[in-house]
Amino acid sequence: MKHKLPVMLISMTIITCKADLGKTEKLERALKEQEIKIVKETKKIKTKAIIAEAKLKTAKKATEKALKTVILSATSIKEAQETSEKSNREKEDAKNEKAQIEREKLKIENEAKQLEVQLKEKWNQQQTQFKIDEAKLELKRKTKDIERLLIIYDNDYGIEPSDQFGMHDSNSNNKAFDVLHQGLKPYHHADNKKVREKIYLVFEYKDIYIQSLGEILNKIAKVSYLPPDQAKQKTLEQEQANALLNEIIENIHEYFAHYFEGTFKILSDKQNSIDALNLSDLRTLLNKLNELQKIKDTCKMYAETIYNDFKNDKGKIRTGGIKELGEYITNHEYKKIFKDAIEQIKTLDTQISNITYK
């Protein structure tokens, strides 16, 4: 629009000034100058336009570059954000995984502890059961010999010689089993076989022990014996001998009642109760049997001492009268020793009964 306006002005000037040739040259110069000016201006404008266009292109490129940068930045930011989010998710996953691992670890540790407790408990139970079985075997070992003797006693398996181990004489009737009575019948009577067997059982059905006892009892019985027609003529010595004979036999029967018929008969009959005992009760029972065995061993030791002294005629107790034998027994306190032993057996018998009857 700016270029068209000068051209129109030039045309109008030419038309107006046709008659004035003098002015024509001037006008031409003016026009020429104007044209040059216009050309210069046009060039200048073109240059500016080119520069502007170049700047525009540059700006466009810069804008595109900036836009690219922005896009790249946005992409980078997005990628960074996504990376960050991914990293956060991974961290969260890792955290959750770690927490899960910790929970599983804790669970495994708890299960391991529970298993350890169970194994220890099972081990303790097995050890306790092993000790119980061991105690029961020990109990069997301690009672088997007595059980064997009781079987002999209960079934009349014992062999009794006709002279009843030297304590019966059908001719003189002055031996121990002839003088001793159970009720109205003498010990040697067939009805009193079980009474005699109690004595045999106390001495374990061993001939040598029973015969040794018989020798001492026969000596006392011989002193105490009087024919039936002279029964009212008993001397003090005879009465003392008769009292001593009966006291010894009573002690033997009492020993049998509490040791064999009491303690060991209970143990034999109450096997189911014994099988149900706990370890503590079994050990207590074994301790009581050990105490009982010590008492038995002590009684046996004193009985052997008495027999050896009798055989060796110590203090004339074999060849002398009842007085010498009585003094020997008194001086060694044998009455007290055997009475105390029987009382101890009674106590243990009660304690053992209390354990087995729980």
Using pLDDT thresholds of 50, 70 and 90, give the confidence band for residue 10.
very low
Give CA–CA dist 166/175, Å, rounded: 8
Strands (E), 71-216: 181-182, 185-186
Question: What's the mean per-residue pLDDT of the chain?
Answer: 85
Using pLDDT thresholds of 50, 70 and 90, give the confidence band for residue 74.
low
Least reliable range by pLDDT among 178-182, 250-254, 261-265? 261-265
For the cut 90, the answer to whether the pLDDT of residue 316 exceeds it is yes
Sign of the dihedral through C-alpha 87, 88, 91, 92: negative
Q: Where are the domains of the chain?
A: 1-130, 158-356
The strand pairing partners of 182, in sequence order, are: 185
Top pLDDT among 4 and 119 is at: 119
- 37: which 2 tokens? 């000016």
Place of tokens 């002690």: 251
CATH numeric code, 158-356: 1.10.3160.10
User: Exposed/middle/buried for 225, CB within 10 Å: 0-12, 13-18, 19+?
Assistant: buried
Top pLDDT among 60 and 108 is at: 108
**Segment 121-129 mean pLDDT:** 92
DSSP 175: S
Give CA–CA dist 261/263, Å, rounded: 6
DSSP string, 260-297: IIIIIHHHHHTHHHHHT--HHHHHHHHHHHHHHHHHHH
